[in-house]
Amino acid sequence: MTQQTWDEVGGVLPHDEFRAASEAIVANIEQVIEGKTATVRLALAVLLAEGHLLIEDVPGVGKTKLAKAMARSIDCTVRRIQFTPDLLPSDVTGVSVYNQETHDFEFRPGAVFANLVVGDEINRASPKTQSALLECMEERQVTVDGVTYQLQTPFMVIATQNPIEMEGTYPLPEAQRDRFTARIAMGYPGPEAELAMLDGHGAVDPLYDLRAVSDAATVRQLIATVREVHVADAVKQYAIDLVTATREAPELRLGASPRATLQLLRTARAVAALEGRDYVLPDDLQALAVPVLAHRIIPTADAQLARRTTDAIVSDLVHRLTVPQERKRSQYDTRPATGGNGRSAYEPRRR
C-alpha cells in the first residue's frame, strides 16, 4: 500500500481561505458540541500543529463526541479503537498473516493506518497495548516484523480517558503522556448550552447527520500555512523559560521535556493562525501553558499532600515569569516600526 509521508503537505493557503476553512470545521463541530468554542478551537489547533490530543474528564460530558465530530468534519480516513483489557498490540499496529495461496506473509494494517485515530478509554488497555502507539505518535510510522510503514498526513490520535474510577485501569506512563501535545477537559456545559443540547439532541443525535466540510488535502494546506507563522526570537526564549521553570520548580520532581517546548511552539503557531495572525505572541504561550505542559510534569509528594494540581502549579509559574517586551517584527508587517506602547507592531499577513 502507498502511504504519504508526514512531510508531504500541500501549499500555503491565503489568509481568507485559511480562515474560511478553519471556521467551517469549528462551526461544524459545534453542531454537536454546545457551548465549548474554546475547547473545539484548541482541538483543531492541535490537529494543525501535527500533534495528538488527550481528552480527560468525567463520563458523559462529550469526550468521545468531540473526537468523532472532528473526525466526521473532515473527509478523510477515520478509525475508532475501543481500548479494553483484552486488546492486543497487533490490533492497533497490524499483523503479518500467512497467505496460503501465495505461500508468503502479507501485512494487514491495524487501526492506526488512518488520518484520524479515535482511541476511547485508552487507560483501560494494558501497558503493552498502550505502548503500541508510541512509535506512530512520535515518528509517524509503524514497524511490524522488521518492516517500517509510513503513515498518512494528516495523522492525529485523539484519546479519551476517565480520571475517576481508576480500578481496573492502567494509567498512562510518563512517556505516553509526553506524546500527547495537549490535554484538555470538556467540563460541564452552562445552563443555556445544556438547554440547547436538550433541544438539539433530545430527539436525534446530530452526530449522525454531520457531514464533512473539509478534506485531507485541505487540512494538509492548513498545516503548511501554520508552519509559516513567524515566531520572534524573544518569544522562542519565553517558551524555553516556561519549560525551564517547570524543571526548576521545587514543587515538581519531573519537569517538561524538550519535546514539550517544541510542541508548545507548534501549537502556538496554530492558535495564532486561527486568530488571523501570522506571528506568535507571548499571550499564546501563556494560554497554552496549562493544556500543553500540565500533563507532562510530576509533582512532589509534598505538593500532592497539599493537593496542588499540576494545572495550578503551571498557572503559578506563568504568572511569575516576566513577559518579553521587545518582539521581532514580522517580515509581512506593514505598520510603523513601533506602536503606541513602544513595542514592535504587527499586522496579519497580507496576500
Residue-wise pLDDT tens digits, 84-113 = 999 999 999 999 888 888 888 889 999 999
Within-domain flag for 33? yes
In this structure, the strands spanning 252-254 and 214-215 are unpaired
* 148 shares a domain with 54: yes
For residues 55 and 350, give the distance between their C-alpha atoms in angstroms, rounded to a whole number. 35
Within-domain flag for 159? yes
Angle at 7 between CA 176 and CA 107, to 5 degrees: 65
Strand partners, 158: 53, 118
For residues 45 and 36, give the distance between their C-alpha atoms in angstroms, rounded to a whole number. 14
Within-domain flag for 346? no
State pTM to two decimals.
Answer: 0.86
* 133 shares a domain with 224: yes
Residue-wise pLDDT tens digits, 288-324 = 999 999 999 999 999 999 999 999 999 999 999 888 7
All three cell numbers of 328: 521581532
Domain CATH number, residue 237: 1.10.8.80
Q: How close are the terminal C-alpha atoms of the chain, in Å?
A: 38
Q: Is the peptide bond before 154 cis (omega within 30 degrees of 0)?
A: yes
- Domain count across the chain: 2
3-state DSSP: the chain helix, strand, coil percent, rounded to 5?
A: 45, 15, 40
Contact in structure between 288 and 264 (CB atoms under 8 Å): yes
Residue-wise pLDDT tens digits, 123-172 = 999 999 999 999 999 999 999 988 999 998 899 999 998 877 767 788 88
In this structure, the strands spanning 74-75 and 214-215 are parallel
Domain that holds residue 147: 8-228
* 252 shares a domain with 200: no
* 179 shares a domain with 257: no
